[in-house]
Amino acid sequence: MSATKARPSHAAQPLGSASILKKASISALVALVLFSLMIGVRTEAGPQGGLIYWTRFGELAAMVAAVFGGSIVIELLRQWWGPVDKDRVVPKPVQAAFAFVGRWLAPALLVFTFLVPVIFYDQRYILDLAILVLTYVMLGWGLNVVVGLAGLLDLGYVAFYAVGAYSYALLATNFGLSFWVCLPLAGILAAFWGILLGFPVLRLRGDYLAIVTLAFGEIIRLVIINWQSLTGGPNGVSGIPRPTLFGIPLTAGDDGLAARLGIEFSPTHRVVFLFYVILALALLTNWVTIRLRRLPIGRAWEALREDEVACRALGINTTTTKLTAFATGAMFGGFAGAFFATRQGFISPESFTFQESALVLAIVVLGGMGSQLGVALAALTMIGGFELFRGFDQYRMLVFGVAMVLLMIWRPRGLIGHRSPTVFLERNQAISSDLVKEGHG
Amino acid sequence: MDYFAQQLINGLVLGSIYGLIAIGYTMVYGIVGMINFAHGDIFMIGGFIALISFLVLVSLGLTAIPFILLVVLLVSMAITALYGWTVERIAYRPLRHSFRLAPMLSAIGMSFVLTNFSQIAQGARVKPVPPIITGGYTLHEGASGFNVQISNMQIIVVLVTIVLLTLFTWLVSRTRLGRDMRACEQDQTMAALLGVDVDRTISMTFVTGAALAAVAGMMYLLYYGQVDFFMGFVAGIKAFTAAVLGGIGSLPGAVLGGLAIGLIETFWSAYFSVEYKDVAAFSILIVVLIFMPTGLLGRPEVEKV
């Protein structure tokens, strides 16, 4: 299972069928031991409170056989594909086609997105799915500022999403503030929390930072669960008001939008409205990110991602650079959270688990860490992929985990593309920063 | 005072379990320089395998409890160690020379795989076991009727931790494998040049870490009387906190950190609020990293360009 870059000499020579069979047998044997108890025996709390168990040797045999077969297939695929790091020559016409698609994909996608409510007006399911995808596109673009541009691994992004959602929910239900007043407030509050989190983590290196942000996300969730008098605890907040179009509600009443325009009321109006709200928010995120990347602060983020020590040597204030990255990312997370709250009408801590953080992070990584178009496509793939598993809910996260591992092995720099720094020297230095590991220079 | 003494005992027992898990984190971090995010789930798998093998052995008609427990211990250590080996082989080894975040993300993926695998394979409900080791001693009879007690189970947990820690310290400081591990920790390239099989050493690190996590899982099962598929996540973060608190890369530090986290959590629940005990543990992680990034016993890390 391990023909890797570390030992290219082994990977290069094709293996005979005997050795493939041997490898597959070893894999099957390992699988047999691994699964013998976990799959072969099923335990359950019995009716009297004690434990009962029954055996499932059929499933066990099937799993082992699947591992055996899968191992052979993977080995054959690997031989067919050749070494991982081989330079592949892409034919000229294909290159031209790629370039053409690359140039026109983003505008085409944008136009298509604008037309989605027109094309799928009657299909509520697709509209809801599109809103969901756009929410994740926005979250992905927000996290992209932190992870993709500044290179800070944030495993607790969902905390800012939660802060935004609860900010809007509580302000609206307690003080009757409207969505459009609360939206900037939610963003500001989330950015404030981002700075609060940013302060302690400034001195930390990559992995520590990841764990601290994870702990922070969990702290926020636990506080939301336990602070029942404010947040309603596990029951959440319900009855969150819907957004209005500059004060005009999208309801069936006399003062509703439909009545004022003199058209027949339909609940789809609200869905379409929500669709354009999230689309506008997402495009705002994208626009701000693209603009910021051209400002000194954006350049500083990218420099920070490439090499922190060099950054400091060049006189970039790493503290403020990291803080602004955190705050900007958190602000967009807060916007998305406020939108989530108003769309759902009900929020509870269950929506803000670590799995959400991991999902958004997976979108950013899949999209190539820094590429805006990549993140959008990754969100579409991920959420669409999740929809395929509707009805197999319990296998969803399993497949998600497997996909994450395989993706990291196959394309650690992202499936769609890697955003290189906006500015760089024409002549490359002798050793790229990828090759220099910390402590191994 | 009696109440304090009782909480001290409870805290030490909990801390021993965290310490056993933390060793796995600290060793892997020391050698490979990555957070093995799936380690908490390895601990959970260890608990499950102990539970299942116990059930099977009992239903085979065995009655000698000490013998059963010994077999369960060995079986769960062996199988869980194989899980650790497989995880390293599939998810981490191909990424040894990849960019910084790749192994971390792969580890998160692996953690999801293990969690959901056991949810699908064994169901989502909590699995209770009746108390297997009962009895205990009353250390001090309080005037108000509150007795300081220590159960046999608690004694066993602490004893097992001490024995394993001794064994493990011996392994690292006296054996060939331990020497290889320390060599790889200092400089992998140089170790490889001097004839150390780096791949094998890293595999063995994962195997021993997983075996210790399996012991922790079994102790958890016997002490708390239940396992569920989600217990690895929180336990994993806390054990990692313990490893960081003790100074990551340091073995005594991991146990010390584990005890500290166990005590803090127990006292927090006893004197403040049970609901916020996890918040307390996670806050400590953040505070420690701000004021003592190297932990209690860790070495300061020198950043080279």
The answer to whether the beta carbons of residues B206 and B213 sit under 8 Å apart is: no
- What pLDDT, on a 0 to 100 scale, did the predictor assign at position A12? 46
Nearest CB to A219 within list B111, B116, B282:
B282
Residues of chain A with pLDDT under 50: 1-12, 439-441
Residue B105: its chain A contacts at CB < 8 A?
361-362, 365, 404, 408
In this structure, CATH architecture of domain A99-410: Orthogonal Bundle (1.10)
- What's the predicted TM-score (pTM) here? 0.86
Q: How far is A126 from chain B (nearest CA, A)?
A: 28
User: What's the rounded Cα separation, in Å, for the pair A182 and B300?
Assistant: 45
Q: What is the C-alpha to C-alpha distance for residues B120 and B122, in angstroms, rounded to an integer?
A: 6
Radius of gyration of chain A (CA): 25
ipTM over 0.90: no
Rounded Cα distance between A210 and B37, Å, is 11
Parts of chain B with a pLDDT under 70 = 145, 300-305
Residue B89 CA: distances (Å) to CA of A37, B85, B113, B281:
21, 6, 15, 32
- Give the distance, in angstroms, between the CA of residue B187 and the centroid of all CA atoms in the same chain: 26
DSSP designation for A52: E
The 10 Å Cβ neighbour count of residue B142 is: 14
**Candidates B35, B128, B301; nearest CB to A51:** B128
- Tens of pLDDT, residue by residue over A139-177, are 999 999 998 888 888 888 999 999 999 999 999 888 888
For A:372-391, CB contacts with B below 8 A are none
Specify whether the CB–CB gap between B265 and B283 falls below 8 A.
Answer: no
Q: Say which residue the tokens 């402590």 belong to.
A: A439
Q: How far is Cα B100 from Cα A132, in angstroms, rounded to an integer?
A: 31
The tokens 């650790």 sit on which residue?
Answer: B84
Based on its alpha-carbon atoms, the radius of gyration of chain B, rounded to whole angstroms, reads 19
- What b-and-e string marks burial along A300-333, b requiring 16 or more CB atoms within 10 Å of the CB? bbbbbbbebeebeeeebebeebbbbbbbbbbbbb
**Is A5's Cβ below 8 Å from some Cβ in B?**
yes
Residues 173-232 in A contacting B (C-alpha not used; CB under 8 Å): 200-201, 203-208, 210-212, 214-216, 218-219, 222-223, 225-226
Other Cβ atoms closer than 10 A to A242: 15
Domain ranges of chain A: 9-83, 99-410
Supply the DSSP symbol for A54.
E
Which residues from A are below 8 Å from B283, CB to CB?
A: 215, 219
What's the one-letter identity of residue A115?
L
Condensed to tens digits (0 to 9), the pLDDT of residues B173-194 reads 899 999 998 888 888 889 999 9
Contact A32/B79 with Cβ under 8 angstroms? no
The answer to whether B9 and B148 have CB atoms below 8 angstroms apart is yes
How far A116 CA lies from chain B's nearest CA (Å)? Answer: 33
**Distances from the Cα of A213 to the Cαs of A186, A319, B104, B240, in angstroms?**
20, 17, 14, 14
Look up tokens 């490898």; give the residue: A23
Alpha helices of chain B — where are they, by DSSP H? 2-32, 39-59, 65-87, 101-122, 152-174, 176-186, 188-193, 198-224, 231-246, 251-271, 277-291
Residue B103 has a pLDDT of: 86
Q: Least CB-CB distance to A2: which of B89, B123, B278?
A: B89
- Those residues whose C-beta lies under 8 Å from the C-beta of residue A29, and which sit 6 or more positions away, are none
Alpha carbons A11 and A88: distance in angstroms, whole number: 16
- pLDDT, residue A422, reads 59
What are φ and ψ of residue B137, in 5° steps?
-125, 145
Q: How far apart are CA A437 and CA B302, in angstroms?
A: 13
Whether the CB-CB separation of B72 and B214 falls below 8 Å is answered with no
Burial of residue B263 (number of CB atoms within 10 Å: 0-12, 13-18, 19+): middle
CA distance A148 to A136: 15
- Nearest Cα to Cα of residue B266 among B2, B9, B25, B1: B9
Tell me how close the Cα of A200 comes to any Cα of chain B, in angstroms: 6
CA A209 to chain centre: 18
Sign of CA dihedral A317, A320, A326, A332: negative
Residue B131 pLDDT:
81
CA-nearest of B238, B51, B39 to A52 is B51
Residues of B in Cβ contact (< 8 Å) with A436: 305
- Asked if A218 contacts B282 with a C-beta cutoff of 8 angstroms, the reply is yes
